Copies of this chain bind each other. A is one copy, B any other.
Amino acid sequence: MILSIGLNPAVDVTYHVSTLTVGTTNRVNRAHAHAGGKATNVARVLHQLGEPVCLISMAGGRTGDDFRADLQSSGIPAELVPIAGATRRTVAVIDAAAATLLNEPGPTVSRAEWRTFLMTYQMSLSRARVVVLCGSIPPGVPTDAYQELTELAHSAGVMTILDTEGPKLLKALAARPTVVKLNLEELSATMSRDVHDDADLAAAALGLRERGAQAVVVSRGSDGVVAITDSGIWQAVATTISGNPTGAGDALAAGLAVGLAHGREWEAILIDAVALATAAVAVEVAGAVDVAVLERVRTTVSRRPE
């Protein structure tokens, strides 16, 4: 069983407009809403693959009711700690040219709510092989939350995948997460320097390993991933698919979790995870993969010793 942990979930609202024009009234042609956030997307992909998963998150207010109802209708197993604050919304305004995102700040989580969350998490660890920790941390939750969650998982013999960035990632490295997964922008933001070529990337990723990460997987969009592991530095790249890259990173995290949960070697883990990320690009919404693309896509993996 894989646990997907979302500290700052959101109801994702999508507005389709003809052309978004700043400073005017824009008519929304089509609107839809679903339970979103990175952890929800990870859980959704795993559920689609038939992989046993449980989303552990928080929900409050009427948006929290919407969040809970959407998960129930999707059949995704979830434990949602009730909170007093209202679950946030993110609004994606899609026109022919671009996607414009509006991210509400999360509700403030009280100390008591955070303790209940930790208890729920700890009780779930006994059923888990891998935990995926992803996304931002809402106000009220300690900034070293990912360190604590990683330590608790390891104490229970559960592997961890950390998909976040910046100081909250750096703080968690002390707990030696099994895999740190991030993209080039997140790597640059975390290292406070622009990471652009292969040498930079390797140096930055090795830096994260030295600070505690057992493995580091860096995604580079259609250029595939670089994985710095105990068994060397791996590069994996798949057939290029055109589509919507939103959610591809979450599918990659889901794929890494499947590989770890089944005790596979890095080569096999990366082949499947990169294929999964590619199959996510083929689907318009985040949190789903195109099964036909998944069967067709070919991933090329190469390795050089660290």
Residues of A within 8 A of B (CB): 15, 17, 20-29, 31, 62-63, 65-66, 91, 93, 97-105
Q: Contacts A22-B98, A99-B23 given: A15-B66 contact, CB under 8 Å?
A: no
CB <8 Å contact, A101 and B62 = no
A189 to chain B, nearest CB (A): 13
The 8 closest A-B pairs by CB, nearest first: A23-B98, A25-B101, A62-B62, A28-B104, A22-B100, A31-B104, A26-B102, A20-B22
- A sample of 12 cross-chain residue pairs with beta-carbon separation below 8 angstroms, ordered by A number, consists of A15-B104, A17-B102, A20-B22, A22-B22, A25-B101, A26-B102, A28-B102, A28-B103, A28-B105, A62-B63, A91-B91, A91-B102
In the complex, which residues of chain B have a beta carbon less than 8 angstroms from the beta carbon of A24?
100-101
In the complex, which residues of chain B have a beta carbon less than 8 angstroms from the beta carbon of A103?
25-28
* Residue of chain B at shortest CB distance from A29: B105
In the complex, which residues of chain B have a beta carbon less than 8 angstroms from the beta carbon of A17?
102
Q: How many angstroms between the C-alpha atoms of A63 and B13 in the bound complex? A: 13
Q: How many angstroms between the C-alpha atoms of A97 and B104 in the bound complex? A: 20
CB <8 Å contact, B100 and A26 = yes
Q: Contacts A20-B22, A22-B22, A91-B91 given: A102-B15 contact, CB under 8 Å?
A: yes
A215 to chain B, nearest CB (A): 28
Q: A23-B100, A24-B100, A26-B100 are in contact. List 7 more A-B contacts (CB 8 A).
A: A15-B91, A15-B102, A22-B98, A26-B101, A26-B102, A28-B103, A28-B104
Cβ-neighbour of A23 out of B29, B62, B97 (below 8 A):
B97
In the complex, which residues of chain B have a beta carbon less than 8 angstroms from the beta carbon of A62?
62-63, 65-66
CB <8 Å contact, A31 and B100 = no
Q: How many angstroms between the C-alpha atoms of A98 and B97 in the bound complex? A: 21
Q: How many angstroms between the C-alpha atoms of A97 and B99 in the bound complex? A: 21
Cβ-neighbour of A105 out of B31, B66, B98, B99 (below 8 A):
B31
In the complex, which residues of chain B have a beta carbon less than 8 angstroms from the beta carbon of A22?
20, 22, 97-98, 100
In the complex, which residues of chain B have a beta carbon less than 8 angstroms from the beta carbon of A23?
97-100
A95 to chain B, nearest CB (A): 8
Q: How many angstroms between the C-alpha atoms of A145 and B66 in the bound complex? A: 32
Q: How many angstroms between the C-alpha atoms of A25 and B189 in the bound complex? A: 15
Q: How many angstroms between the C-alpha atoms of A99 and B23 in the bound complex? A: 5
Q: How many angstroms between the C-alpha atoms of A172 and B296 in the bound complex? A: 60
- Max chain B Cβ within 10 angstroms of own Cβ: one of A27, A65, A97: A27
A235 to chain B, nearest CB (A): 28
In the complex, which residues of chain B have a beta carbon less than 8 angstroms from the beta carbon of A31?
104-105
Q: How many angstroms between the C-alpha atoms of A216 and B237 in the bound complex? A: 68
A103 to chain B, nearest CB (A): 6
Q: How many angstroms between the C-alpha atoms of A27 and B20 in the bound complex? A: 17
* Residue of chain B at shortest CB distance from A69: B62
Q: How many angstroms between the C-alpha atoms of A129 and B133 in the bound complex? A: 61
